[in-house]
């Protein structure tokens, strides 16, 4: 397979499931650091550039969770590929403001901040979001934040430049000049084809945490399963849609507030990798997207050798990590009704950002004539599967909004769940937390309840 590593087109033959981090370090890119090998620290951050609809798009991504097969035909940029003779303005800002202590995390921060300049909406995005996936144990972040403030000047320069982004960034000395050639070089590179049998890899953000390498990867990214689209009655989300696209989807945000709700999932680099299909098929009892869409009464479509079946998402989960999924069957898309409902999503984790929930929950309902209609309540972290709370949902049907009804609903929910004590909290905590999150749903939808619960 061929790809561009910094300036050069290279051709390699290593197993396609090898993590890109391991490959890069083995060829001497030692500025790419290993801090966790699980997507949690950002020390291994690289830029990944590819042509999408003929546009060259870059994102920062954790190379530890990136199988090398995924970079075929793409541009991988390490810190070495960003260095110029002088420090660039990002590097300089970190030095000037003391944002560097031991230096182990630093290349990762530089790469993530570069991605902000390359891909970010400079009018609107918060530069800090670009580094939410980078851990620094030395600085306490204050100096790094000051460094980002020093970059506001560069942001203005790039924003006001009439040139296209990459050229503007070269002018601003943020990128080295070889970036001008990448577009043409990428056009010439073919993406490799792949085998038919093996392990499906979507974003790899669960898979490569569980296994360090995958022997027989099938890259779902090559199958055209991404995208979000609508018909008259439904909104469809392709299984390969990543969390960040779902978050920012115009279609979804007309009926839901995914923009805010999903901001609390993982970090930007992970959100840009992690797919909804992976979240569902991984079947973690605490998957955020799964819980989210369970409460929207979603359907899913499964495909095998051209044969297709559509089932309810809630019927997909049979037991702990057992699914109504045949070997070789692919989750194709998920769909929800195109209608506006009252909707609330709650997630509590030990750390509010970039952490897996202790308990999460979602609720959708209509409220008409003082009556709850079509309520759907889901919750995660309180049983072996992502749970649709059937009894509680049907209890709520046709009920009035009152603190008594909400309390009773919480009590019924408590009988439906079977949390266990683990690293994310004691069983007692999870029971209490679910009760509180159910209260929180109703308080945020019906603020008048606040004084009553």
Ligand X SMILES: Cc1cc2nc3c(=O)[nH]c(=O)nc-3n(C[C@H](O)[C@H](O)[C@H](O)COP(=O)(O)OP(=O)(O)OC[C@H]3O[C@@H](n4cnc5c(N)ncnc54)[C@H](O)[C@@H]3O)c2cc1C
In angstroms, what is the minimal distance from the CB of 150 to ligand FES?
Answer: 17
| # residues contacting another protein (CB under 8 A) | 78
Each residue 66-105 as x (binds ligand FES by CB under 6 A) or -, in order, gives ----------------------------------xxxxxx
| Binding map of ligand FES across residues 390-409, x = CB under 6 A, - = no contact | --------------------
Q: Is 353 in the site for ligand FES (CB under 6 A)?
A: no
Q: Which residue has the tokens 């209490």?
A: 432
- Min dist. Cβ of residue 381 to ligand X (A): 11
Q: Which residues pair with 331 in a beta bridge?
A: 302
Q: In what order do the strands lie in the sheet with 55-62?
A: 8-11, 2-5, 75-77, 45-52, 55-62
Q: CB under 5 to 8 A by kind: which of another protein, ligand X, ligand FES, none does 64 bind?
A: ligand FES
Of residues 106 and 364, the one with the C-beta less far from another protein: 106
CB of 415 to another protein, least distance (A): 13
Question: Which of another protein, ligand X, ligand FES, none is residue 443 near (CB under 5 to 8 Å by kind)?
Answer: another protein
- Taking residues 203 to 232 in sequence order and writing x for each that binds ligand FES by CB under 6 A, - otherwise, the string is ------------------------------
Which of the stretches 48-56, 236-244, 249-257, 422-430 binds another protein when contact is defined by CB under 8 A? 422-430
Residues 326-335: b if buried by 16+ CB within 10 A, e if exposed: eeebbbbbbb
Region of 141-149, 190-198, 285-293, 325-333 interacting with another protein (CB under 8 A): 141-149
Confirm or reject binding of residue 269 to another protein (CB under 8 A): no
The verdict on 106 binding another protein (CB under 8 A) reads yes
Q: How far is the C-alpha of 289 from the C-alpha of 265, rounded, in Å?
A: 9
The footprint of another protein on residues 197-236 (CB under 8 A) is: 209
The answer to whether 402 and 436 are in contact (CB under 8 A) is: no
Please report which residue ranges of 137-267 form alpha helices under DSSP H.
142-150, 152-160, 165-171, 182-188, 207-210, 243-248, 250-255, 258-261
Q: In what order do the strands lie in the sheet with 387-388?
A: 342-348, 359-368, 371-380, 387-388
CB 270 within 8 A of CB 133: yes
Are residues 74 and 48 in contact, defined by beta-carbon separation less than 8 angstroms? yes
> Does residue number 362 form part of the binding site for ligand FES (CB under 6 A)?
no
Q: Which of 1, 12, 14, 36 binds ligand FES (CB under 6 A)?
A: 36
State the binding partner of 199 from ligand FES, ligand X, another protein, none, CB within 5 to 8 A by kind: ligand X
> How is residue 400 annotated by DSSP?
-
The span from the CA of 139 to the CA of 126, in Å, is 20
Sign of CA dihedral 34, 36, 40, 41: negative
The stretch near ligand FES (CB under 6 A) out of 34-42, 254-262, 297-305, 369-377 is 34-42
**Nearest alpha-carbon partner for 359 in 273, 413, 285:** 285
Give the residue from 329, 292, 327 showing the smallest Cα distance to 310. Answer: 329
Which residue is closest to ligand X by CB? 278
> Residue written as tokens 């009804």?
405
Residue 183 in the binding site for ligand FES (CB under 6 A): no
| By the rule CB under 6 A, 271 interacts with ligand FES | no
CA–chain centroid gap for 147, Å, is 26
* Residue 319 main-chain phi, psi, to 5 deg: -175, -175
**136 is a site residue for another protein (CB under 8 A):** yes
Upper half-sphere CA count for residue 32 (Cβ side, 13 Å)? 29
297, interface contact from ligand FES, another protein, ligand X, none, CB < 5-8 Å by kind? none
Name 154's bridge partners: none
CA distance 375 to 363: 7
Among residues 82, 202, 348, 382, the one that binds ligand X under rule CB under 6 A: 202
Are 300 and 280 within 8 A, CB to CB? yes
What does the per-residue mask of binding to ligand X show for 39-78, with x meaning CB under 6 A?
xx--------------------------------------
Closer residue to another protein in complex, CB, 43/207: 43
Q: Which residues bind ligand X (CB under 6 A)?
A: 38-40, 199-207, 209, 220, 239, 265-266, 270, 273-275, 277-279, 281-282, 287-289, 330-331, 354, 356
Positions that interact with ligand FES (CB under 6 A): 34-37, 39-44, 62, 64, 100-106, 136-139
């Amino acid at each position: 397979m061929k790809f561009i590593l910094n300036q050069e087109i290279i051709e390699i033959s290593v197993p396609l499931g090898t993590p890109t981090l391991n490959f890069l370090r083995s060829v001497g890119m030692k500025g790419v650091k290993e801090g966790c090998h699980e997507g949690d620290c950002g020390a291994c951050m690289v830029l990944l550039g590819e042509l999408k609809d003929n546009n060259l798009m870059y994102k920062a991504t954790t190379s530890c969770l990136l199988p090398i097969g995924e970079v075929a035909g793409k541009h991988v940029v390490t810190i070495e590929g960003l260095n110029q003779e002088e420090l660039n303005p990002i590097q300089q800002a970190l030095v000037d403001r003391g944002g560097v202590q031991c230096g182990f995390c630093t290349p990762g921060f530089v790469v993530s901040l570069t991605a902000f300049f390359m891909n970010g909406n400079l009018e609107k995005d918060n530069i800090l979001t670009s580094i939410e996936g980078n851990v620094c144990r030395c600085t306490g972040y204050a100096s790094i934040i000051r460094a980002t403030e020093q970059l506001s000047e560069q942001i203005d320069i790039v924003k006001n430049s009439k040139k296209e982004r990459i050229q503007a960034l070269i002018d601003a000395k943020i990128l080295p000049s070889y970036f001008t050639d990448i577009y043409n070089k990428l056009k010439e590179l073919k993406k490799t084809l792949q085998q038919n049998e093996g392990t499906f890899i979507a974003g790899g953000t669960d898979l490569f945490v569980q296994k360090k390498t995958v022997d027989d990867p099938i890259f779902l990214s090559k199958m055209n399963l991404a995208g979000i689209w609508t018909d008259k009655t439904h909104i469809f989300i392709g299984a390969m849609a990543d969390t960040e696209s779902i978050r920012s989807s115009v279609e979804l945000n007309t009926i839901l507030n995914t923009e805010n709700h999903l901001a609390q999932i993982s970090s930007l680099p992970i959100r840009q990798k992690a797919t909804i299909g992976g979240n569902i098929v991984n079947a973690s009892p605490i998957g955020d997207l799964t819980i989210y869409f369970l409460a929207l009464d979603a359907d899913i479509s499964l495909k095998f050798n051209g044969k297709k079946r559509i089932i309810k998402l809630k019927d997909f989960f049979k037991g702990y990590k057992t699914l109504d999924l045949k070997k070789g069957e692919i989750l194709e898309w998920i769909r929800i009704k195109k209608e506006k409902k009252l909707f609330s999503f709650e997630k509590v984790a030990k750390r509010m950002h970039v952490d897996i929930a202790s308990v999460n929950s979602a609720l959708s309902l209509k409220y008409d004539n003082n009556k709850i209609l079509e309520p759907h309540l889901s919750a995660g972290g309180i049983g072996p599967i992502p749970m649709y709370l059937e009894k509680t949902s049907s209890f709520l049907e046709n009920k009035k909004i009152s603190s008594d009804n909400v309390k009773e609903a919480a009590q019924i929910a408590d009988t439906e769940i079977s949390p266990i004590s683990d690293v994310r909290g004691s069983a007692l905590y999870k029971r209490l937390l679910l009760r509180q999150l159910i209260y929180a749903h109703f308080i945020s939808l019906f603020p008048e309840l606040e004084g009553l619960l």
